[in-house]
């Protein structure tokens, strides 16, 4: 039987997924007096290290799901590829935020693009579905140059191929084993930005300041918060994110990624039904953070103040910095921590691997320029490309 809102401190909350996002949620929950149970296969994932209980079962294990529902008053997710049907099963016995229906939309890029454009009425890039050779033959020439993406399970640049012609598209589709795909026109970009938006059980919404993002090899490398864009662009991005979260009848935290085009217009790229790497600066730079908002949403508490008090630059830390070539090494943490305004967040992962997200550093300042200068010093110490 589901409990009535609000769920007050002392209640047990469930988290589907045991990665770093679940870890940061569990830490935030502990600050506010809640207890967390994590469902995640495998031994001692990052979130389980800081949670009260760990159910080591697959996401679709009926035994595991029923145990999680019995142990908690509400459940959320930290991983967009948790099967939507698992969330639906949980929802039979416990409050789930976000709902499985919203997660299902975000799990398929074709469904996601259709929803954003046709239901939320937010612009997206020209695109088409690719599921067979006949779809390739029907593609309009105006879509090239383009990028072919698998419709499901792609993240951090995986399952994506740049294509300049129909011949390229045929080869790319074959290289992706002819799974369902989406073809998107490549647009001339000015910047990539994202918005973290929260929506409560009663429909209240709140957005954090817009984040400016730079990727390397398909993985987020640097976030500047607030984004260095005009106030008009910033407000439009926040309005669009709110339109999407309202259209989904969403409860929880959602990240919407946007392209800012050279003419200043915005198109939505994709959404993640969870807190997001680009929102990590909120932990140190805002009066509340994305994980506190996630907790407030799922417990029926009022949303928090999202005001930013300090400009920030976030650097993603991949496993590469733990290596000198193939030889393991320990990064120079003392030198990093000697820089004023620097906050280190490591994710408790047992083993560093190349391209694996191991942590992040947030550099704060009185101005964006000061935060960026500190981030450049950190990058030099850790042998990262200089942020711009």
Distance CA 13, CA 26 (A): 9
185 is in an annotated binding site: yes
155 is in an annotated binding site: yes
157 is in an annotated binding site: yes
160 is in an annotated binding site: yes
Full 3-state SS string of the chain: CCCCCCCCCCCEEEEECCCHHHHHHHHHHHHCCCEEEEECCCCCCCCHHHCCEEECCCCCCHHHHHHHHHHCCEEEECCCCCCHHHHHHHHCCCEECCCHHHHHHHCCHHHHHHHHHHHCCCCECCEEEECCHHHHHHCCHHHCCEEEEECCCCCCCCCEEEECCHHHHHHHHHHCCCCCEEEEECCCEEEEEEEEEEECCCCCEEECCCEEEEEECCEEEEEEECCCCCHHHHHHHHHHHHHHHHHCCCCEEEEEEEEEECCCCEEEEEEECCCCHHHCCHHHHECCCHHHHHHHHHHCCCCCCCCECCCEEEEEEEHHHHEECCEECCCCHHHHHCCCCEEEEECCCCCCCCCCEEEEEEEECCCHHHHHHHHHHHHHHHCCCCCC
Give which of 26, 62, 24, 55 is closest to 41, Cα–Cα: 55
Count the Cβ atoms, other than its own, within 10 Å of residue 124.
20
158 is in an annotated binding site: yes
Distance CA 226, CA 313 (A): 9
Give me 86's structure tokens. 């698992």
215 is in an annotated binding site: yes
Residues in the chain: 388
Decide: 63 and 57 in contact? Cβ < 8 Å: yes
Distance CA 342, CA 361 (A): 7
184 is in an annotated binding site: yes
The CA-based angle 375-376-381, given to 5 degrees, is 95
Tell me the binding residues for ATP: 109, 149, 154-160, 184-187, 192, 215, 269-270
Tell me the binding residues: 109, 149, 154-160, 184-187, 192, 215, 269-270
């Amino acid at each position: 039987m589901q409990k009535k809102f609000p769920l007050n401190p002392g209640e047990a909350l469930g988290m589907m997924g045991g990665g770093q996002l679940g870890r940061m949620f569990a830490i935030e929950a502990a600050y506010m007096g809640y207890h967390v149970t994590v469902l995640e296969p495998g031994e001692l994932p990052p979130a389980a290290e800081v949670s009260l209980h760990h159910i080591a079962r697959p996401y679709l294990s009926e035994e595991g799901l029923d145990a999680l529902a019995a142990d908690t008053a509400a459940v959320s997710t930290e991983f967009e590829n948790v099967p939507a049907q698992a969330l639906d099963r949980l929802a039979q016995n416990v409050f789930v935020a976000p709902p499985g229906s919203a997660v299902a939309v975000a799990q398929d890029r074709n469904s996601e693009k259709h929803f954003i454009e046709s239901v939320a009425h937010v612009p997206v890039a020209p695109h088409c579905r690719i599921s067979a050779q006949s779809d390739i033959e029907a593609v309009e020439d105006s879509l090239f140059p383009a990028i072919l993406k698998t419709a499901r399970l792609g993240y951090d640049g995986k399952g994506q191929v740049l294509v300049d012609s129909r011949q390229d598209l045929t080869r790319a589709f074959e290289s992706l084993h002819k799974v369902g795909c989406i073809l998107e026109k490549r647009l001339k970009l000015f910047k990539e930005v994202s918005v973290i938006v929260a929506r409560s059980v009663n429909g209240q919404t709140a957005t954090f300041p817009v984040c400016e993002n730079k990727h390397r090899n398909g993985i987020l490398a640097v976030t500047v918060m607030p984004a260095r864009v005009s106030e008009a662009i910033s407000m439009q991005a926040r309005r669009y994110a709110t339109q999407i979260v309202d259209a989904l009848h969403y409860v929880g935290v959602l990240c919407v990624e946007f392209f800012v085009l050279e003419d200043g217009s915005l198109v939505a790229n994709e959404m993640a039904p969870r807190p997001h790497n680009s929102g990590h600066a909120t932990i140190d730079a805002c009066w509340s953070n994305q994980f506190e908002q996630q907790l407030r949403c799922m417990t029926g508490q009022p949303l928090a103040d999202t005001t930013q008090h300090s400009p920030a630059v976030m650097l993603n830390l991949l496993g590469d910095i733990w290596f000198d070539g193939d030889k393991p090494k320990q990064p120079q943490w003392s030198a990093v921590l000697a820089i004023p305004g620097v906050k280190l967040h490591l994710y408790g992962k047992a083993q560093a691997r190349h391209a694996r997200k191991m942590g992040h550093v947030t550099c704060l300042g009185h101005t964006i320029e000061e935060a960026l200068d500190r981030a450049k010093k950190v990058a030099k110490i850790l042998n990262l490309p200089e942020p711009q």
